[in-house]
Structure 1
Amino acid sequence: MTHHRRRAARRRDRTRRITPRTHWLLLSVFAVTLSTALLLQGYTHHMFGITSDAVTGVRGRSDMVPARVAHGGPVIAGAATSPHTARVRPRTIALTFDDGPDPTWTPRILEVLRRNHVHATFFVVGTQVVAHPELVRRIVADGHQIGIHTFTHPDLARLAPWQRSLELRETQLAVAGAAGVTTALLRPPYSSENGALDDADWSVLKQADAAGYVTVLSTQDAEDWQRPGARRILANATPHGHGGQVLLMHDAGGDRSQTVAALAALVPRLKAQGFRFATVSDAVGMAAPVQPAGLGDHLQGLALVRALQGGDRVVRLLGWLMYAAGAISVLRAAVVLTAARRHRRLRAGGPDRSWGPRVTEPVSVIVPAYNESAGIEAAVRSLLASDHPVEIIVVDDGSTDGTADLVEALGLPVRVIRRRNAGKPAALNSGLAAATCDLVVMVDGDTVFEPDTVRTIVQPFADPRVGAVSGNAKVVNRGGLLGRWQHIEYVVGFNLDRRLFDLAECMPTVPGAVGAFRRRALLDLGGVSDVTLAEDTDLTMALCRNGWRVVYEEGAKAWTEAPASLNALWRQRYRWCYGTLQAMWKHRGALVQRGAAGKLGRRGLIYLLLFQVLLPLLAPAVDIFALYGLVFLDPVRIIGLWLTFLLLQLLMGLYAFRLDGERPGPLWSLPLQQFVYRQLMYLVVIQSVFTAVSGSRLRWQRMERYGSLQPPVGAQPLPSDLTREEPPAASTPR
């Protein structure tokens, strides 16, 4: 039994190791599927298209065109073997309509034909068949004949043989899927009479014949594509004499109201003159070219129609999503900038101006530390250099690099608590239990304070409603592109958002690098929870839901190390994002609460959901669609939109840097940020969401330290009655 349990445990371990990678396979499948759908949609809708029949190019040599074809009838068969043609019987008109079906004009033309009890032949375009399969079924049901006019309406003579085959085959499948029939009739786009054939056209006809098609040209062109007026179309369509004609008209490709009007007058007039109307096959006496489709062709056709219709819907959806995302992003920029300006006005006058009497009481500073030997000395010395009385408590959470020994060896008035490794929340709770002051500042072991940071960050506690204060975390290691990008993100993204959250009274996160709290507010919550990986976000949301106000004090600056490699950045942001998702789910009840909790739920949580979860999840699709636009749509417009958004981000960056007193030099790297950093961040969100949905438990991932922190110049310990003590037993406040 024990052996079976061990095997089951090993299987579970393997599952935990393998399962999180599944989402990358799903993402890859999604990206490939979407790209394929867009490529197919782009080819079928934007590579060619229906244009005027006058667009035929320069006619080439016609040495290869047999004389009996050049001077024969409009229906050509056996081009690849033994070419022969057929003429229309005298006093017979084969009405043909190209470029349809069209949802507006095809039904009107069908109605004219129905009223006059005549049948015609419709040469359909594959993309139009896919868009309006019901019209193809109606054409067949009304007794009319179907021919194909290629899939995307290109000049077949200018295509490679494989493209010609693709055009014909895909159109045939579309007709089979839409109406359950196949047809042997073909009219190449931009074709006219036999005498206009050149050698390139003849090669098309031979290839079409080898594929089983009979080519149908025209003998009389109504020239309705020029839209000269109904009277002129009527004149062009009226035969001279009694010879039979294949009459070319159009039921799509633009406004065909003149065609409809001319047709309504033409049919009765020619009937009165003794002409009869027939389909192409009846007019020349050929065997029925339209036959029921085989099961295979019908199923393949249905799949093609459904796939292309799905692609059309995806493109429309992505278009709407891009417009929506763009509008939301612009609205967000406007709101954030307006809030930042208002926040600056409200905070004008210095850190002691509006909260109430100056706060001078001593502060307990808790430093949770796990293997922080690279920067702990700089962090401690910076705290001792504070111009505010502080009690410093370093909680060593089972470090293996001698962090606690290093702090003790400094001989500074710092309390050191040693405990077995249990994670950051447990370390913070140990420090909270040992703290003797009513105000508590929490700072990471990779962070240094400026001399006035502690004094500045505690001033908002003059307002008894304030339970926590977020400081201004800044990146100290800004060298290289990655450092600059994170510096930009801290200044532009995090700090602008915090100003907005402050005004809206829905601050979701007091960062672990620099945050201040009322000790009793934390004790009322039972201390720092360890049920999420973003303990700072979880704690902040819990304070908001408990009725406390959380504010942002931009003057309380702390300098922290940022990840210096993509791998380290990935691990840090993965933990942040996953922990934030956990905290959002944990505090989802705030959405329906009132008061401070309701502000957090209906303002803060919705903001986070929209801009930190949903929009990043859409980012891969947006990027793929942008590439689609560059290839198939208007590249100038796409690039213009991208430059517009980049300019918007640049303006936000300039304003944010000005608010933070930063030089704008790093903003030159903002365009490059869109091609690497942005993709990394949305991949982090995707992995976090998949991990959360799968129910996997992400372990704590510690960031690598680089030793780039330095204490303030001339930092000296301040006189204090807070003497070093032996650490009490660690306990969790309740």
Structure 2
Amino acid sequence: MDGHRAPMGRRNALGAGAGALAAALAAGCARSDGAGGAGGPAAVTRPPGTSSATTATPGPTATAAVTPSPAASRAAAPAPRAFPGLPFRIAHGPRDRPRVALTFDGRGDPDLARAALARCEQAGAHVTVLAVGAWLADHPGLARRILDGGHEIGNHTEHHLDLASLDERAAYEEIAACARRLRRLTGSIGAWFRPSPTAYASPLLQRLAQRAGYPHVLGCDVESLDHAATRVATVTRKVAGELRNGSVVELSLGRPVTVDALPLLLAEIGRRGLRAVTATELLGRPAADVTRTAR
């Protein structure tokens, strides 16, 4: 996803155009299959040539005792958790529970990122931010802002490079460097890992992520494509048309079109009787447990 910036002042509210945008959302929703989905256990996808045997428990990196920095002293970020029986790449949660997970690539304009978090909180939504390490280096207070809002934070590599184009050593360092930064800022390597620039993880990336301490990669089943969108209606129609029980939605944290679309998306989630939760809670861990100090 690209990281276009835009001034924040003109984007603080939906303004007089909200009615038109809501109508566009309603049109998109009319094509949706609604909140209902087939019941049953969480469905997942596997990269070619892999099986459920790729699931692993966190390695020493994920479980080693740490002393959080002063900035993280209030509460450490949740550590990665293995979900037994699920393969490495998790695309969505259970279809028989009215929950969805909004997941954000953490980069872009920091003011827009704060605005996006605030809008989620106003709607009672908890989200998952997969942060780019270099972005956190430039804006270290955002790690604490994410956690203090009741959200969870994870790893989206250090520089958002195309991991598939790197050799093994460089690809591992992209994952490990972001993990080290998260540990320094929050006391944990973060709850989840998502490769860049795509959520697909090759067998090599699976091994590298597991070596860094991540038992799963967080995929998605609803891509907003907001990185390429210029109109709110484009984003709302795309998400509303595919959203259902258990969905994991991929969004961008620091883009103006996403901030403007969030009130409509969150309202639609509520209208369908769904609840926006973190990815960890979507897969079964209670929210109160997610926000507790990590081991």
For the aligned pair, the TM-score class normalised by the smaller chain equals 0.5 to 0.7
Say which of 99, 102, 121 aligns to 1:95. Answer: 102
Partner of 1:260: 259
CA distance in 2, matches of 1:76, 1:292: 14
> In 2 relative to 1, CA 63–168 (structure 1 residues): closer, same or farther, beyond 3 Å?
closer
Say which of 117, 122, 126 aligns to 1:119. Answer: 126
Say which of 192, 196, 199 aligns to 1:185. Answer: 192
Q: Deviations over 1:184-209 (max 9, x none)?
A: 410101224xxxx4xx7221022212
SS in 1 for 2:202: helix
> In 2 relative to 1, CA 291–126 (structure 1 residues): closer, same or farther, beyond 3 Å?
farther
**Equivalent pair of 1:98/1:251 in contact (CA under 8 Å):** yes
CA distance in 1, matches of 2:243, 2:187: 39
**Equivalent pair of 1:98/1:248 in contact (CA under 8 Å):** yes
Say which of 200, 219, 239 aligns to 1:217. Answer: 219
What 5-or-longer segments of structure 2 have no aligned partner?
4-46, 55-79
Q: How many residues align?
A: 221
SS in 1 for 2:110: coil
CA distance in 2, matches of 1:84, 1:98: 19
Identity across matched positions, percent: 25
1:173 deviation in Å?
A: 2.0
Q: Which runs of 4+ in 1 moved over 2 A?
A: 62-69, 75-79, 81-87, 99-102, 176-182, 239-243, 286-294
Partner of 2:232: 230
CA distance in 1, matches of 2:279, 2:157: 18
> In 2 relative to 1, CA 293–66 (structure 1 residues): closer, same or farther, beyond 3 Å?
closer
> In 2 relative to 1, CA 123–231 (structure 1 residues): closer, same or farther, beyond 3 Å?
same
Q: Deviations over 1:279-323 (max 9, x none)?
A: 0000011486777578xxxxxxxxxxxxxxxxxxxxxxxxxxxxx
Map 1:644-655 → 2, pairs under 5 A: none
Partner of 1:673: none
Task: Tell me: higher relative CO, structure 1 or 2? Use CA pairs within 8 A at least 6 residues apart.
Answer: 2
Higher share in helix: 1
What amino acid does structure 2 have at the position aligned with 1:202? Answer: P
1:77 deviation in Å?
A: 5.9
CA distance in 1, matches of 2:52, 2:189: 31
Partner of 2:182: 175
> In 2 relative to 1, CA 104–282 (structure 1 residues): closer, same or farther, beyond 3 Å?
same
What amino acid does structure 2 have at the position aligned with 1:201? Answer: S
1:76 deviation in Å?
A: 11
**Equivalent pair of 1:184/1:290 in contact (CA under 8 Å):** no
Q: Deviations over 1:438-474 (max 9, x none)?
A: xxxxxxxxxxxxxxxxxxxxxxxxxxxxxxxxxxxxx
Q: Give TM-score scaled by structure 1 length.
A: 0.28
CA distance in 2, matches of 1:279, 1:82: 18
CA distance in 1, matches of 2:212, 2:202: 15
1:263 deviation in Å?
A: 0.8
SS in 1 for 2:180: helix
**Equivalent pair of 1:101/1:136 in contact (CA under 8 Å):** no
**Equivalent pair of 2:155/2:189 in contact (CA under 8 Å):** no
Partner of 2:49: 64
**Equivalent pair of 2:100/2:244 in contact (CA under 8 Å):** no
CA distance in 2, matches of 1:182, 1:289: 14
**Equivalent pair of 2:245/2:274 in contact (CA under 8 Å):** no
Q: Deviations over 1:522-560 (max 9, x none)?
A: xxxxxxxxxxxxxxxxxxxxxxxxxxxxxxxxxxxxxxx
**Equivalent pair of 1:124/1:148 in contact (CA under 8 Å):** yes
Partner of 1:281: 280
SS in 2 for 1:251: strand
What amino acid does structure 2 have at the position aligned with 1:89? Answer: P
1:128 deviation in Å?
A: 0.6
Query: What is the alpha-carbon root mean square deviation over aligned residues?
Result: 3.2
CA distance in 1, matches of 2:192, 2:151: 13
**Equivalent pair of 1:109/1:260 in contact (CA under 8 Å):** yes
